A and B are shown apart, each in its own frame.
Chain A
Amino acid sequence: MWVFLGSDCMFFGTLIATYLVYKNKSIVGPYPIDVFDIPTTSVSTFVLLMSSMSMVLSYAALRRGRIKAFRIWLASTAIMGATFLAFQVFEFREFAVHHVEIDCVEPGKLTEFETDIFNEFCTEGVEHYEGSHGLTPATNLFGTTFFTLTGFHGAHVTLGVIWLLGVLLYSFKWGITPDRDLDLDLAALYWHFVDIVWIIIFTVVYLFGVFEGF
């Protein structure tokens, strides 16, 4: 399993490297600052972090032979994982239909992307512009690298949730004991790994993407 995680690190490492190489290299918008919603993503990040904690509790419960507590914590880990995924789906959808609204008379402070839209659509006589300028993998380099990286991580979370649910199902049907633990430590290890990777992604992609100076 450690070998597998080492290999997986290379997968994520390469994807993150790709993202960083292409950071700020997109020719057209939207750019990170236009679409990212840090508070929302912070919530989902927090949920994922908490799921790691409940994974620890679940594992500890099993070690002490408290099967019921084990099941509760395991289920809550899976649910929190699923919640994270729901956030991600919601976020992807938001990005894809990214809504832009500009007051053409008094535009105020616009981002670079909004300025582009302002220049293109706020022609003579237009007072107010509204439209959808979504970000998809095909839009620009940011979209390409962002969706691939986070999607790849999402796939890992999905796999983890399925794994945890499988263990849960197994524990109901055939029982699980501290001796026959179905390598729960491997599942836990995997879950923590996926979690840590997300922290890196959150920092590199989201936080560096929004705060200036990076």
Chain B
Amino acid sequence: MTTLALPLPRPTHPTGIWSWITTIDHKRIGILYGVTAFILFLTGGVEALLMRVQLAAPEQDIVSAEVFNQLFTMHGTTMIFLAIMPLGAAFFNFVIPLQIGARDVAFPRLNAFSYWTFLAGAIMLKLSWFLGGAPNAGWFGYAPLTGEAYNPGHGIDFWMMSLQILGIASLAAAFNFIVTIINMRAPGMTLMRMPLFTWMTLVTSILLVLAFPVITVALIELMFDRFYGTNFFVTQAGASPVLWQHLFWVFGHPEVYILILPALGIVSEIIPTFSKKPLFGYPVVVLSGVIIGFLGWMVWSHHMFTVGLGPVANSVFAATTMAIAVPTGVKIFNYMGTMWGGSIDFKTPMLYAIGFVFLFIIGGLSGVMHSSAASDAQQQDTYFIIAHIHYVLFGGSIMALLGGIYYWFPKITGRFLDEKMGQITFWIIFIGMNITFFPMHFLGLDGMPRRINTYPDGMGWDLWNAVATAGVVFLFVGLAMFTVSAIRSWRNGKRASGDPWDGRTLEWSIASPPPEYNFEEIPTVHDRDDWWSTKRRRAPAAVPVAGGSGENGHDIHLPQPSYWPAVVSIGLLVGGYGLIFNVAVAAIGGAIAMIGIYAWSFEPVNEPDDGAAH
């Protein structure tokens, strides 16, 4: 076959750093996502720590007002876009193909591209600390504070370029997972037999695909304003800053569910496994997830109750927001229904899952409190809201993601994450989380606005601020212990079999860590929780052992590694940097990306001679 491909040899590194850069194996990409996101999560934690130190006592001047504003902007942006979302993506990558009985995702190279682009966006954002100051207008970037007139520095430029790059990464990943889940399920796995985590991934991906265009357009409009003098958000030309808020929250609220639905999916896997019972009311749990995803589009203005949309709009959005509590409540009741009559094993993943449910109840209830538009007028933009979002995002998403790490760690590494340390760490984090965030409810009701870098003596906020800061110490100790034990367990933890938890879904039917081709033979699915029923039907000897034989692997046809996804991502990074500082650099970045795309499109999935046997 004649080829237009660039005359570069195909990468063939089996190990080493190049093998990671060129990999298109969904499991390796999942690990890359997970490790990168966890490191970024810790950087976001350090940003939070600095803020808490500054606020520990009144009238402190440890960081300046400007730096404080940069810190909370970066903390929010980091945690949402660089920590929770990619940690979710790590599990999508590693787990989804295994759960649906596939050898890889639908577009492996696009998947690699998603990761490298995510990394490019992360570097872009974090670079701002070293290139003239981080963005300082909040993660929500309300116009016109982000406009050239009020914010001439480069911080906002980095923020909007980075979010656009991250948007590309998220969109590509979401397309990939939708197609994977729709088209690549093993024979017999009907939609209503899919594991809950796969279901929630599907809903999340659909939300992503529909929500990210909105924020991307808003960011492009902002970018045109800042770079090319257009007037989208220039109030002097008559623009309405409320437009930005609508666009941002039409994206922003589905985004909240993008952060929480994967967590619900993870918990929906852990609770049945450790209760040894199937998920109670499976169709209802699936349906409630879909309804949450759907209603998520009708509630965005509850972030804008004080903007002055009028009593009619506020009432409607209050009602729709309250409606979301129903499917959420149903999920929680069904979790309890699953545990009822079960045989609950309090291994670390289960502790995190129950911790999740408990904290999520609190976060959900404070959510209902400010869904009441009138009462929210006192709570909007106070510490009460901070308490709420941290109960939902830390108590919710992060607890579930940590539980997910403990749950799938044996599958990923072939070793258990230290159980004893896990139990201790859980309690430290659980208690620390409550000490940090519960007092913020009091602070908010006591009239402390958010995003203030300091407060005078005599406001009555001293005690609970000091307590909250003390709680952060617990969180840091807990997370440090987690990090250390994860590294140690990865190196020489206790060996795990292919099915260490007596699992229910397909990923536990193969060796740990899984061979590159995942399944020697694509399984045929007969049931929900197919692996559980398979196990219970046949002799225990059929349970896979650690390591796996892999002997039959050599004739399985796998796509080959590629340089080009990473090249395109580098092009995007350079291009984004260039748009901020120098058009010539932007052109170079564009050229790199174009070369990458060109080479990528003419590169066959497999070299013809290599795949000739098939």
> In the complex, is A directly touching B at CB under 8 Å?
yes
A interface residues, Cβ below 8 angstroms from B = 3-4, 6-8, 10-11, 13-15, 17-18, 21-22, 25-27, 137-138, 140-141, 143-145, 147-148, 173-174
Does B2 have its Cβ within 8 Å of any Cβ on chain A?
A: yes
Does B456 have its Cβ within 8 Å of any Cβ on chain A?
A: no
B296 to chain A minimum Cβ distance, whole angstroms, is 14
Contact A14–B238 (Cβ < 8 Å): no
Does B477 have its Cβ within 8 Å of any Cβ on chain A?
A: no
B437 to chain A minimum Cβ distance, whole angstroms, is 34
20 intermolecular pairs with C-beta atoms under 8 Å apart: A3-B206, A4-B175, A6-B209, A7-B171, A7-B175, A7-B210, A8-B213, A10-B214, A18-B243, A25-B239, A137-B224, A137-B228, A138-B230, A138-B231, A141-B231, A141-B239, A143-B231, A144-B230, A144-B232, A145-B232
Contact among B206, B220, B237 with A141 in the assembled complex (CB-CB below 8 Å): B237
Does B322 have its Cβ within 8 Å of any Cβ on chain A?
A: no
> Which residues of the partner chain B approach A17 to less than 8 Å between Cβ atoms?
247
Contact A22–B210 (Cβ < 8 Å): no
A18 to chain B minimum Cβ distance, whole angstroms, is 7
Closest to B210 in A: A10
Give CA–CA (A174, B2) in the complex, Å. Answer: 9
B519 to chain A minimum Cβ distance, whole angstroms, is 26
The interface size of chain B toward A, counting residues with CB under 8 Å, comes to 30
Contact B229–A138 (Cβ < 8 Å): yes
> Which residues of the partner chain B approach A140 to less than 8 Å between Cβ atoms?
231, 237-238
B485 to chain A minimum Cβ distance, whole angstroms, is 40
B212 to chain A minimum Cβ distance, whole angstroms, is 8
Does B264 have its Cβ within 8 Å of any Cβ on chain A?
A: no
Contact B239–A22 (Cβ < 8 Å): yes
Give CA–CA (A18, B2) in the complex, Å. Answer: 47
Q: Which of B214, B231, B243 has the most CB of A within 10 A?
A: B231
B110 to chain A minimum Cβ distance, whole angstroms, is 12
A11 to chain B minimum Cβ distance, whole angstroms, is 4
Contact B221–A148 (Cβ < 8 Å): yes
Does B452 have its Cβ within 8 Å of any Cβ on chain A?
A: no
Closest to A141 in B: B231
> Which residues of the partner chain A approach B124 to less than 8 Å between Cβ atoms?
none
Does B179 have its Cβ within 8 Å of any Cβ on chain A?
A: yes
> Which residues of the partner chain B approach A137 to less than 8 Å between Cβ atoms?
224, 228-230
B interface residues, Cβ below 8 angstroms from A = 2, 171, 175, 178-179, 206, 209-214, 216-218, 220-221, 224, 228-232, 237-240, 243, 247, 250
> Which residues of the partner chain B approach A6 to less than 8 Å between Cβ atoms?
209-210
Give CA–CA (A11, B168) in the complex, Å. Answer: 13
Give CA–CA (A148, B211) in the complex, Å. Answer: 20
Give CA–CA (A144, B229) in the complex, Å. Answer: 9
With A6-B210, A138-B231, A144-B224: A25-B240 Cβ-Cβ less than 8 Å: yes
> Which residues of the partner chain B approach A141 to less than 8 Å between Cβ atoms?
231-232, 237-239
Closest to B231 in A: A144
> Which residues of the partner chain B approach A8 to less than 8 Å between Cβ atoms?
213
Give CA–CA (A13, B212) in the complex, Å. Answer: 12
Give CA–CA (A147, B250) in the complex, Å. Answer: 23
> Which residues of the partner chain A approach B224 to less than 8 Å between Cβ atoms?
137, 144, 148
Give CA–CA (A101, B517) in the complex, Å. Answer: 73
Contact B230–A14 (Cβ < 8 Å): no
Give CA–CA (A162, B243) in the complex, Å. Answer: 34
Give CA–CA (A141, B427) in the complex, Å. Answer: 55
> Which residues of the partner chain B approach A13 to less than 8 Å between Cβ atoms?
213-214
A116 to chain B minimum Cβ distance, whole angstroms, is 15
With A27-B238, A144-B224, A148-B224: A14-B231 Cβ-Cβ less than 8 Å: no
Contact B238–A25 (Cβ < 8 Å): yes
> Which residues of the partner chain A approach B237 to less than 8 Å between Cβ atoms?
26-27, 140-141, 144
Contacts A11-B217, A17-B247, A26-B237 known; list 11 others, CB within 8 Å: A11-B216, A14-B217, A14-B247, A18-B221, A18-B232, A25-B239, A137-B229, A140-B237, A141-B232, A148-B220, A148-B230
Give CA–CA (A27, B234) in the complex, Å. Answer: 12
> Which residues of the partner chain B approach A25 to less than 8 Å between Cβ atoms?
238-240
> Which residues of the partner chain B approach A174 to less than 8 Å between Cβ atoms?
2
Contact A21–B240 (Cβ < 8 Å): yes
Give CA–CA (A6, B171) in the complex, Å. Answer: 12
Contact among A10, A27, A145 with B213 in the assembled complex (CB-CB below 8 Å): A10
